[in-house]
Amino acid sequence: MSAVQPVTEKAIDSSILRDIEGGVFEPWDAEKILGWSIKNFHPRLSLSCSFGAPEGLVLLDMMHRIEPAARVFVLDTGRLPQATYDLMDRVRDRYGTRLEVVFPRAQPVEAMVRESGLNLFYESIEKRQLCCRVRKVEPLRRHLSSVDAWVSGLRRDQNVTRRDTAKVELDLAHGGIVKINPLADWESEDVWSYVREYDVPTNRLHREGYPSVGCEPCSRAIEAGDDPRAGRWWWESADTRECGIHLGQEAGGSGI
């Protein structure tokens, strides 16, 4: 399997670097951060929307109100549930958004499946991370090599691995581009309040007990009171339940 190609370091304006290092963005609300992001980076700014969690849809709605032509991409791993594809079409119709669907390269997927089978992710953490790397991490890396900044729906209370998420940071795993996390200080109820207020479309699997929807074989409904991430890679411990797209090289993420 071919190695992931290195990403060229991006030249970021020195004033933006100073503001990031100085924590200037931490007091800003989500709308102000998105307005700044669009002003400074559009059209070389792209929103990552999984269509499996409401955060991405909230950000899509906010960005659309500021700049209807704001770019949105989704990683199609080839293993997503039908409900997620249905939501993509609903969003396209509702907002007139031209989704940028990013697929994994066929050759590495074929080689991985030929070597380890279709459901290798259940066998070990290493094989699950390999599957995520081939189907998600490498496609993300490829897409982000063409932009200067990207927006994610990360929140600090989602998982132990996300507690230190900054609202605006440098993404060193992707060539030093700017990573924007406008909802970092939001809680789940903040997200759902926005969904209700603006009638934002969401994945129908949420109503069936799925707080987070990823690939179909790696997601399941949870019981009331469970950790919201308990339905993702439920056979692993909480500290390994990441696909790698939000982890740096030293943590086994996109730098690999």
Q: Could you say which of 131, 132, 215, 243 is catalytic?
A: 243
| Of 73, 244, 84, 85, the residue nearest 143 (C-alpha) | 73
Helix, strand or coil for residue 239? helix
Identify whether the C-beta of residue 40 lies closer than 8 Å to the C-beta of residue 25.
no
Encoded amino acid at 207, one letter = R
| Residue 243 appears among annotated catalytic residues | yes
Helix, strand or coil for residue 216? helix
Contacts (Cβ under 8 Å, ≥6 apart) of 256 = 4, 133, 137, 244, 249
Rounded to 10 deg, the angle between the 125-132 and 106-116 helix axes is: 160
The catalytic residues are: 243
